[in-house]
């Protein structure tokens, strides 16, 4: 009995379990519909596509964890800009790969700094700051990348699409990144500070945490992750396009929440992001397999997000 | 006797999980009396009042109001209908609304044409009655008022009457944000109301207030009523004894023999309040306990924050030598990380010293938690429990442990003992004096006169300015009160 | 007088109107021909649906929530308006009422489970879009004639959008800021606990605010098709951003129930004019969206400046 309540308590402390369970159920439903065919392919595809959601999801998670009202809405614009810049800098040449990577990271850094300075200097709520920043960034991307049709260097497109025994190498790479980020969140001074700020910014300041430096680092981190996503995504999909980031706004927030991170801040976990990203992709695959129309697919996606958050329940602190 | 009984609680009990917050409490309130309620933090006073106000429901027991058994379906609305009002410890005003609108929230019947005018008149009239010269307008937005004025609005609102009856007002630590003048005004008003046949329940940690202004005193301990007598049968000592405090308050007096002579140790803090030009400088020497006195919110906290923010940078008007830590008085907004364990809350200020390589050492964190649990007697079975599982006083101890356990050489205290029980206080005073002996410097803002007698040196604040400076040997209650009220020339 | 003009409180409340006037002056300076009833009508015609959507968002923000689905929702009501409402008015009205009821239910759900509105409405944005796609798979449909008639209503001398905006502002201001229950509704944003303790139902306040948002969302959708006459599921995707920006430009704050209906309407007008301003400036369309962000930042910077001054005082 006591071991059962203990394991129940354990389960409650690991909210990411649910996203993996959901993923499993959806996968089973899909392959039972197809009679077992294509089960492996679904996993391969899910891993490839979820990778990009996970990259931006991790950055978004750190931002959301710094407390209510903190969210990075500039991710899609950032993906578009950094992807475009990288493609243009590299011009399809393998030798320029590192330079291109540095260029897109530079973009990310600039976006992060810009976002944060809006928040800090103008004291704008982060939602508005990143929203207005995204307008400017997107305009820059449009003006810069007009008519851009440059293929990524072969090395990059090969790397982003490489698979070993049906497992995308990029996914393995991002699993390592996620593991590192999980340690960063729970065991480093930076991660602890993020969690403290998310619970109570003023108390964090009075406990000697350099709140502004941590928030700065967090917005820069999120922007860097978005830039990384833009760089890899451009390689993966054979070139940068201006709207390639669009779906990642909702996706980045959705995976963070479904993964069990508290929207009220101060409580986060990385494994859940992977689970949620796989779950979201498999859900759409399942609906496709069932032959659902576009409208139904949208409705189901939406209802599942609402259902997940309803079951997970709110954990807003009483303020 | 032909007194009307208003409240009759019989064997009311309430548990939160394993914690028995109320154990078979009997309580009666009759018309025209002021009932004092005392007890340590966590003794169950607030829980009992929440049950009476209808914001918490009792597990078992009988709730009788005006002779009716209302145990079933007792809630806020029923309490309200029976004329029972409560001024809660944390404020129940809407900061985005005006004073008049807040009055309207309280009275469902204030509606229809001209409601704003009526609501405004109602609340301002009551403010005039209780706190003459309050300086509050009906269309002031509450969020723009000082905390003391907000408290005045909140209290006055509880005494306003529209078409619902008013029989009993519960005042839970009503004077905590009021200055001495306003507190006196309120307490005399309570006597007036009581003489007119209404009743009050008064909860306060200021035992003098309870002794002087209530008719009957109920003493609670560990969720039970342990004693109940007429107020005149108590004096301070017997009341403290009834609450279960065997620790003598003479401990404070012992300190007087140990007065330090200023200036023998190096200066560690030197500052002038931003709102002051020239005049007295605020100074603290190493190993001193420096008091910041005066009426509530007269610039003391601002002074502390000025020192706090000067610790990691160089400012012209503030010099601070050495790392600083702050003990928050307003736990919820300034101190507690509600999702974390007690241990994490204690350790957060010292994480930098626990880092090995890149990572925070788990062992160091646990070691610090258990060390301070023993040292400052935090009452919990496990330091890994959530911080909110502690009673208020013990949460405060955890915040003390956070500061005392850190590398800070200067500890700032923002009236941290407000609303903490006497037992905890005396334990912490001891700790502070011990630490000061060992060379730590304490800057201590307090609104409680007694605590100032722990200090080596006291600065009195008024309107954001330091108006007088007293060494321990010159310190008397009278002098502090005089400078707190003195009119500026 | 000078003291009054530099009073931060006054400056802050005057900022929405001032930014609108400055923008208007700039437009008239660049393009004097815009200063006609026809010009104003043209520049401001989309102000009506945007103002209505902004008001809808404002109701949600008042109770400390944020609606990320108002754009798709307006799109859905536009689709219903251009199809069902025209072909089968009774069914159309019922469908629109169901939309409002769905909003009220969302409010109830968010209150009941204490959910973060951002996530719930994020999910609902997919749902609204999905339903809209089912209702109207390809762009088209026709707005009912009476809707078109209302939207092309003409008053000599004054541009219709300004009249409509004034009516919206006055009605909502009265309902939210002047009535006695409006105080309770705003109080639910300022200190919900206190409202609950005073015996009011927080469930009811939240449902009312969400229903009001749904109602104004429906009005926004209908007024939109009154102008375009046809609809599309994606017709109002931008409105989510517009509505949030409008509330903020209008001086509303994200938490604590501090909002201003008049300000929100002014904010919506400012936002609408920004588009025209850029056209008159002959700025490349690439930069239009960026300039919109720029103006938002500019106004917020001014507000920050005023607030800082107040903090110093």
Residue A243 in tokens: 């709207």
Residue A5 included in any domain: no
Measured from the Cβ of residue B57, the count of other Cβ atoms closer than 10 Å reads 14
Residue A175 included in any domain: yes
Does the pLDDT at position B246 exceed 50?
no
Q: List the Cα angle B59/B62/B65 in 5-degree steps.
A: 125
Q: Which of C263, C291, C264, C286 is nearest to C275 (CA)?
A: C291
Q: Which of B71, B105, B80 is nearest to B169 (CA)?
A: B80
Residue B348 is nearest to which of A196, A267, A317, comparing CB atoms? A196
Cα separation, B236 vs B242, in Å, equals 10
* B253 or C258, which is more confident: C258
Residue A67 included in any domain: yes
Residue A308 included in any domain: yes
| Segments in chain A below pLDDT 70 | 1-13, 147, 312-319
Chains in contact with C, where contact requires at least 3 CB pairs less than 8 Å apart = A, B
Tell me if chain B has a CB within 8 Å of the CB of A266: yes
Q: Which residues of C touch B93 (CB under 8 A)?
A: 191, 194
Cα separation, B369 vs B375, in Å, equals 10
Which band of pLDDT confidence, cut at 50, 70 and 90, is reported for residue C260? very high
Cα separation, C295 vs C298, in Å, equals 5
The whole-number pLDDT of residue C293 equals: 83
Q: Using the beta-carbon criterion (under 8 Å), do A124 and C133 form an inter-chain contact?
A: no
Residue C99 in tokens: 């939309």
Residue A184 included in any domain: yes
* Widest pairwise Cα distance in chain C: 62
Cβ-contact B369, B376 below 8 angstroms: no
Residue A10 included in any domain: no
The whole-number pLDDT of residue A6 equals: 54
**B147, burial (CB in 10 Å: exposed 0-12, middle 13-18, buried 19+):** middle
* B254 or B152, which is more confident: B152
The whole-number pLDDT of residue B487 equals: 45
Cβ-contact A143, A81 below 8 angstroms: no
Residue C186 is nearest to which of B88, B97, B143, comparing CB atoms? B97
Cα separation, B364 vs B358, in Å, equals 14
Q: Using the beta-carbon criterion (under 8 Å), do C119 and A305 form an inter-chain contact?
A: yes
Radius of gyration over alpha carbons of chain C, in Å?
20
Cβ-contact A280, C80 below 8 angstroms: no
Residue C114 is nearest to which of A298, A302, A316, comparing CB atoms? A316
pLDDT tens digits, B414-455 = 988 866 777 778 888 888 988 898 889 999 998 777 788 888
Which of residues 238 through 267 in chain C touch A, CB cutoff 8 A? Answer: 241, 244-245, 248, 254-255
Using CA atoms, how far residue C276 sits from B106, B458, C30, C286, in Å, is 48, 65, 11, 14
pLDDT tens digits, B35-46 = 999 887 667 888
What global pTM score does this model have?
Answer: 0.81
The boundaries of the domain holding residue C72 are 44-306
* C302 or B199, which is more confident: B199
pLDDT tens digits, B283-305 = 999 999 999 988 767 888 999 99
Tell me if chain C has a CB within 8 Å of the CB of A252: no
Residue A318 included in any domain: no
Task: Give, as one character, the DSSP assignment of residue A89.
Answer: H
Residue C89 included in any domain: yes
Nearest CA in chain C to A296: C130
Residue A157 included in any domain: yes
Q: Which residues of B touch A202 (CB under 8 A)?
A: 333-334
Residue B346 in tokens: 């204690």
Reported as half-sphere exposure (CB side, CA atoms, 13 A), residue B158 has a value of 33
> Looking at residues C49-56, what average pLDDT do you find?
97
The whole-number pLDDT of residue B257 equals: 52
Cα separation, B36 vs C147, in Å, equals 67
Q: Using the beta-carbon criterion (under 8 Å), do B336 and A203 form an inter-chain contact?
A: yes
Residue A215 in tokens: 């928030």
Q: Using the beta-carbon criterion (under 8 Å), do A207 and B360 form an inter-chain contact?
A: no
Which band of pLDDT confidence, cut at 50, 70 and 90, is reported for residue C265? very high
Tell me if chain C has a CB within 8 Å of the CB of A69: yes
Cβ-contact B271, B281 below 8 angstroms: yes
The whole-number pLDDT of residue A10 equals: 59
> The CATH number of the domain where A254 resides is what?
1.10.3470
Does the pLDDT at position C36 exceed 70?
yes
The whole-number pLDDT of residue C73 equals: 97
Q: Which residues of C touch A118 (CB under 8 A)?
A: 297
Cα separation, B202 vs B219, in Å, equals 12
The whole-number pLDDT of residue B3 equals: 67
The whole-number pLDDT of residue B489 equals: 33
Cβ-contact C78, C221 below 8 angstroms: yes
Q: Using the beta-carbon criterion (under 8 Å), do C123 and A304 form an inter-chain contact?
A: yes
Which residue, chain included where needed, has tokens 């404070």?
A: B252
The Cα of C110 is separated from the nearest Cα of chain A by a number of Å equal to 8
- Helix, strand, coil content of chain C in percent (nearest 5): 80, 0, 20
List CB contacts of C138: < 8 A, sequence separation 6 or more: none
Tell me if chain C has a CB within 8 Å of the CB of B78: no
Tell me if chain A has a CB within 8 Å of the CB of B77: no
Cα separation, B106 vs A167, in Å, equals 63
Tell me if chain B has a CB within 8 Å of the CB of A192: yes
| Number of folded domains that form chain A | 1
The whole-number pLDDT of residue C233 equals: 93
Strands (E), C159-304: none
The boundaries of the domain holding residue A186 are 16-312
| Number of folded domains that form chain C | 1
> Cα dihedral sign for C169, C175, C177, C178?
positive
């Amino acid at each position: 009995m006591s071991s059962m309540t203990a394991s129940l308590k354990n389960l409650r402390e690991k909210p990411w379990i649910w996203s993996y369970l959901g993923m499993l159920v959806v996968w089973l439903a899909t392959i039972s519909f197809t009679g077992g065919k294509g089960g492996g392919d679904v996993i391969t595809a899910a891993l490839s596509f979820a990778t990009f959601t996970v990259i931006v999801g991790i950055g978004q998670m750190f931002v959301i964890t710094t407390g209510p009202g903190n969210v990075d809405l500039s991710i899609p614009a950032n993906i578009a800009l950094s992807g475009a810049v990288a493609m243009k800098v590299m011009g399809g040449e393998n030798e320029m790969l590192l330079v291109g990577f540095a260029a897109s990271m530079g973009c990310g850094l600039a976006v992060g700094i810009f976002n944060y300075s809006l928040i800090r200097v103008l004291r704008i709520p982060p939602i508005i700051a990143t929203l207005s920043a995204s307008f400017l960034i997107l305009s820059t991307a449009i003006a810069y990348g007009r008519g851009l049709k440059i293929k990524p260097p072969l090395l990059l497109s090969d790397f982003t699409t490489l698979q070993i025994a049906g497992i995308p190498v990029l996914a393995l790479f991002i699993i390592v990144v996620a593991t590192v980020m999980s340690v960063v969140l729970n065991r480093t001074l930076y991660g602890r500070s993020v969690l403290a700020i998310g619970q109570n910014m003023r108390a964090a300041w009075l406990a000697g945490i350099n709140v502004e430096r941590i928030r700065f680092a967090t917005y820069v981190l999120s922007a860097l992750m978005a830039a990384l996503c833009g760089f890899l995504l451009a390689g993966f999909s054979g070139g940068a396009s201006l709207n390639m980031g669009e779906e990642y706004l909702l996706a980045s927030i959705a995976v963070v929440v479904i993964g069990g991170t508290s929207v009220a801040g101060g409580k986060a976990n990385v494994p859940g992001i992977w689970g949620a990203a796989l779950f979201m992709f498999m859900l759409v695959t399942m609906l496709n397999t069932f032959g659902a129309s576009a409208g139904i697919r949208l409705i189901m996606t939406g209802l599942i997000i609402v259902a997940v958050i309803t079951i997970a329940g709110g954990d807003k602190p009483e303020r | 006797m032909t007194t009307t009984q208003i409240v009759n609680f019989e064997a009311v009990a309430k548990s939160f999980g394993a914690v028995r917050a109320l154990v078979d409490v009997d309580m009666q309130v009759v018309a025209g009396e002021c009932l004092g309620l005392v007890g340590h933090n966590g003794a169950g006073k607030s829980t009992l009042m929440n049950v009476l106000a209808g914001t918490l429901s009792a597990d078992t027991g009988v709730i009788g109001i005006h002779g009716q058994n209302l145990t079933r379906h007792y809630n806020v609305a029923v309490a309200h209908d029976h004329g029972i009002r409560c001024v809660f410890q944390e404020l129940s005003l809407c900061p985005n609304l005006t004073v008049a609108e807040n009055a309207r929230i309280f009275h469902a019947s204030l509606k229809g044409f001209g409601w704003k005018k009526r609501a405004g008149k109602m609340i301002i009239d009551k403010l005039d009655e209780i706190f003459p010269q309050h300086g509050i307008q009906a269309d002031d937005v509450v969020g723009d008022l000082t905390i003391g004025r907000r408290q005045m609005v909140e209290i006055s609102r509880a005494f306003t009457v529209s078409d619902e009856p008013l029989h009993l007002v519960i005042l839970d630590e009503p004077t905590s944000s009021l200055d001495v003048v306003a507190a006196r005004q309120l307490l005399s008003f309570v006597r007036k109301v009581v003489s007119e046949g209404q009743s009050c329940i008064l909860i306060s940690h200021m035992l003098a207030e309870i002794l002087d202004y209530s008719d009957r005193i109920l003493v609670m301990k560990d969720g039970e009523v342990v004693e109940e007598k007429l107020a005149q049968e108590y004096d301070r000592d017997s009341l403290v004894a009834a609450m279960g405090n065997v620790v003598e308050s003479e401990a404070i007096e012992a300190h007087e023999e140990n007065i330090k002579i200023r200036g023998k140790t190096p200066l560690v803090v030197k500052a002038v309040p931003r709102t002051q030009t020239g005049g007295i400088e605020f100074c603290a020497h190493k190993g001193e306990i420096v008091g910041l006195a005066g009426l509530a919110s007269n610039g003391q906290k601002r002074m502390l924050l000025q020192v706090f923010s000067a610790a990691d940078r160089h400012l012209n008007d503030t010099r601070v030598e050495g790392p600083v830590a702050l003990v928050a008085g307003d736990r919820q907004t300034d101190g507690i990380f509600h999702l974390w364990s007690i241990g994490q809350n204690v350790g957060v200020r010292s994480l930098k010293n626990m880092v090995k390589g890149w990572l925070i050492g788990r062992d160091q964190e646990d070691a610090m938690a258990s060390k301070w649990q023993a040292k400052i007697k935090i009452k919990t079975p496990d330091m890994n429990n959530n911080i909110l599982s502690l009673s208020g006083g013990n949460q405060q101890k955890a915040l003390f442990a956070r500061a005392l356990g850190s590398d800070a050489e200067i500890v700032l205290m923002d009236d941290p003992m407000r609303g903490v029980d006497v037992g905890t206080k005396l334990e912490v005073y001891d700790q502070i004096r011990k630490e000061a002996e060992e060379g730590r410097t304490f800057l201590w803002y307090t609104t409680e006169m007694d605590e100032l007698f722990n200090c080596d040196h006291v600065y009195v604040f008024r309107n954001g300015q330091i108006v007088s400076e007293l060494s321990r040997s010159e310190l008397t209650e009278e002098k502090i009160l005089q400078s707190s009220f003195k009119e500026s020339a | 007088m000078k003291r009054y003009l530099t009073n931060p409180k006054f400056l802050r409340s005057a900022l929405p109107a001032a930014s609108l006037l400055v923008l208007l002056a700039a437009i008239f300076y660049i393009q004097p021909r815009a200063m006609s009833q026809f010009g104003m009508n043209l520049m401001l015609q989309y102000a009506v649906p945007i103002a209505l959507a902004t008001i809808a968002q404002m109701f949600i923000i008042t109770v400390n929530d944020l609606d990320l689905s108002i754009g798709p929702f307006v799109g859905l009501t536009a689709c219903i308006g251009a199809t069902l409402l025209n072909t089968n008015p009774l069914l159309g009205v019922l469908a629109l009422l169901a939309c409002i009821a769905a909003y009220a239910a969302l409010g109830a759900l968010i209150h009941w489970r204490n959910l973060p509105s951002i996530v719930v409405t994020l999910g609902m944005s997919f749902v609204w879009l999905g339903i809209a796609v089912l209702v109207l798979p390809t762009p088209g449909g026709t707005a009912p004639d009476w809707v078109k008639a209302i939207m092309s209503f003409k008053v000599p001398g004054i541009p219709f959008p300004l009249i409509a905006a004034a009516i919206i502002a006055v009605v909502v201001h009265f309902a939210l800021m002047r009535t006695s229950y409006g105080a309770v509704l705003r109080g639910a944003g300022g200190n919900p606990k206190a409202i609950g303790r005073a015996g009011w139902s927080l469930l009811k306040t939240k449902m009312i605010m969400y229903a009001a948002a749904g109602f104004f969302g429906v009005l926004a959708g209908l007024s939109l098709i009154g102008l375009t006459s046809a609809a599309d599921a994606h017709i109002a995707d931008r409105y989510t951003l517009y509505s949030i920006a409008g509330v903020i430009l209008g001086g509303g704050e994200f938490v604590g129930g501090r909002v201003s209906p008049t300000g929100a309407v002014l904010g919506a007008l400012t936002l609408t004019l920004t588009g025209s301003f850029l056209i008159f400036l002959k700025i490349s369309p690439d930069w239009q969206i960026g300039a919109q962000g720029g103006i938002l930042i500019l106004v917020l910077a001014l507000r920050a400046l005023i607030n800082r001054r107040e903090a110093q005082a």
